[in-house]
Structure 1
Amino acid sequence: MMFYTAKDAWMPCEWQKDTTNLLVGFCKSEDLIYMQKQMHLFSKNTIKEVLGQSDDKKVNKVDTYYGYVFGILYLFTKYKQDTPKISFYIVLHTLLIVCDDETCLQELQKEILQLDPGVCTLEKTLREVLEYVLFHVERQLDEVENEMTAFDEKISPFDRGIANEFREYRRLMLRMSHFMEQILDVCENLLEDENTFFHTEHLHQLKIAKDKAVRIEERVRMMEEYIEQLKEEFQFQQDYKLNQTMYVFTVVTVIFLPLTLIVGWYGMNFTSMPEVTWKYGYLFVILLSVSVVGCLLLYLKRKKLL
């Protein structure tokens, strides 16, 4: 557990409840439990949510309580398993970040402590947290865009696995769209500032984060449309392939159906058929079949069906 206060430089310090300077803390859930036992600062329900003991789903949200604001943010990943969670508490002039993912916690600490402490505000610090989450969304979105560009070049109606890939990408983009809606709700709830923790002249920091979230949401929507276009193109290729196959079968049927009739006709071998006993009957049927095929081919070619 580490706390820093913003003065001329970021100075390590202890928890201070009624500080007038910006105070930023970084800790894990076990540290939060220790703090709660010592000072009883926060609601037990929020502690349960931090520990993952509540029945709530993985939803990005912000809740306002008496004297503080509690929020949960998740880092978007391609797969739902092991999604890093960032919980945070906002008290007057204070931001406490709780995360059990060591890499995530260290990266957040590094990003925030790089800010100029002389001009850093609570709003600016909170913006850094939001933009850290948005950065991971953008990184996943960039990967999807690159994959879809390569995917566009290899689309083939003969690849049966492409339909399943389309399904996976559509599910991924649907998750990303819902995720961004939640982030926008978080930004709007923070901007409402029910506890009046923020200064009006600094609220533009949160608006910047919200505007960035809006732009990413637009990119997600455009990617959804692009995936839908690729799916339609793939479907068109499949339909065209099927039509070509049916066309070939139709032409073959048109050409050989008369031959089937001839074979069936002379295959009955009635004694009254003069061709059955005729010396040149066999040759006659061969020439008749060849003539029929030739006439049909010539007809189809003139009609530009071949």
Structure 2
Amino acid sequence: MQKSINKLRILTPEKFQAEYPHIFKRNFGEIALNRVHFCKAECLRQAVTGTFAIPRKTKLTGDKITFGYCIAEEQLIFIENQDHIKIEMKKVREYQDEERTSPLLLLFDWMEYLIKDDMLFLQDYEEKLSHLEEELLEGNMEDFDRKILLSRKELSVLSAYYEQLSDMGETLQQNAARHQTEQEALLFGLFCEKAGRLYDMVQTLKEYSMQLREMHQTQIDIRQNEIMKVLTIVTTLFMPLTLIAGWYGMNFAHMPELTAPGGYGIICVVCLLLIAVEIWIFKKKGWFK
């Protein structure tokens, strides 16, 4: 294990720039580590460099954990301003107790550690969407739009993250194959497949979230249709009564019904009969279901 530790260094950007000015200028000179937005790997003649931008699982849409790395002179060098790597590498050594003599394999251990529990995390996320679906079916749609929008943003972050890790694994696999290091090429190939499966899982969750959104929209449409049906029934019920009221409201001089002794009662009976006939027709057509 001591050999593995000797293969690993953690430097600040300033120290790395002082020791490796050409590599820093070529790969890190135009960006600040706190403005890194994606994971990548670049294979140069004498070095392998890249960056990590890791979403925080406690807040996927928040600030990412960002840092750079470089493999040069048979050493894996992490470049960061904070102590995140120093803390996490202790956990990596506990997770991977096999001694590594290659800096590229140390990088593999780190990348493997990053995704070791992610399938469980995605399964928990699927359970979260299932609870959201249950709430939707129970009619509890309070803040649903906000919740589903947040889920889609989080899944988009994870989708990009796993796609980038898969691309990194492929790049490092090709680099190992060029240098004829069979073990490293095999391991990074396996990592690429794992990241690809995680990416596919996220795509499935994104489709699930889209289905929930469509289900929510369908429920809104059904409610709107119910409201429109009620308004249509009310309007249809009172339209003949409105016609009668307007007719007799014209107050022409020669309207016999206005002076007939039982005119008012007859009109009331006619109106009630009209309402009864309309209600019967509506029930027959199933409008009250």
Normalised by the size of structure 2, how large is the TM-score? 0.84
* TM-superposed deviation, 1:5: 4.1
Instruction: Say whether 1:208 aligns with 2:190.
Output: yes
Report matched runs for 1:134-283 at 5 Å. 134-135=115-116, 138=119, 141-142=122-123, 144-155=125-136, 159=141, 161-193=143-175, 196=178, 199-283=181-265
Residues 1:253 and 1:40: Cα distance change in structure 2 (over 3 Å): closer
Larger displacement relative to structure 2 (240-249 or 104-113): 104-113
Instruction: Say whether 1:52 aligns with 2:33.
Output: yes
Report matched runs for 1:99-118 at 5 Å. 99-112=80-93, 115-118=96-99
Identity of aligned residues (%): 23
> SS of the residue aligned with 1:43?
helix
Partners of 1:85 and 1:100 within 8 A in 2: no
Instruction: Say whether 1:71 aligns with 2:50.
Output: yes
Larger displacement relative to structure 2 (180-189 or 197-206): 197-206
Looking at structure 1, the residues matched to 99 and 52 of structure 2 have their Cα atoms a distance apart, in angstroms, of 27
Instruction: Say whether 1:130 aligns with 2:130.
Output: no
> SS of the residue aligned with 1:71?
strand
> SS of the residue aligned with 2:23?
coil
Partners of 1:70 and 1:88 within 8 A in 2: yes
**Over residues 248-290 of structure 1, what are the superposed CA-to-partner deviations in whole Å (9 max), with x where a residue is unaligned?**
1111122111111111112222221112112222111111111
Q: 1:17: which partner in 2?
A: none
Residues 1:228 and 1:222: Cα distance change in structure 2 (over 3 Å): same
Q: What code does the residue aligned with 2:135 have?
A: K
Looking at structure 2, the residues matched to 38 and 128 of structure 1 have their Cα atoms a distance apart, in angstroms, of 25
Residues 1:92 and 1:236: Cα distance change in structure 2 (over 3 Å): same
Partners of 1:93 and 1:197 within 8 A in 2: no
Root mean square deviation of aligned Cα:
3.0
Residues 1:200 and 1:285: Cα distance change in structure 2 (over 3 Å): same
Normalised by the size of structure 1, how large is the TM-score? 0.80
Looking at structure 1, the residues matched to 202 and 45 of structure 2 have their Cα atoms a distance apart, in angstroms, of 36
Q: Structure 1 or 2: larger helix share?
A: 2
Looking at structure 2, the residues matched to 291 and 138 of structure 1 have their Cα atoms a distance apart, in angstroms, of 68
Q: What code does the residue aligned with 2:39 have?
A: N
**Over residues 167-222 of structure 1, what are the superposed CA-to-partner deviations in whole Å (9 max), with x where a residue is unaligned?**
33223222322222211111111011179556213422212211110110010110
Instruction: Say whether 1:292 aligns with 2:271.
Output: no
> SS of the residue aligned with 2:115?
helix
* TM-superposed deviation, 1:88: 1.4
Instruction: Say whether 1:42 aligns with 2:23.
Output: yes
Looking at structure 2, the residues matched to 35 and 287 of structure 1 have their Cα atoms a distance apart, in angstroms, of 97
Unaligned runs of 5+ in 2: none
Instruction: Say whether 1:95 aligns with 2:76.
Output: yes
> SS of the residue aligned with 2:64?
coil
Residues 1:279 and 1:219: Cα distance change in structure 2 (over 3 Å): same
* Aligned residue-pair number: 285
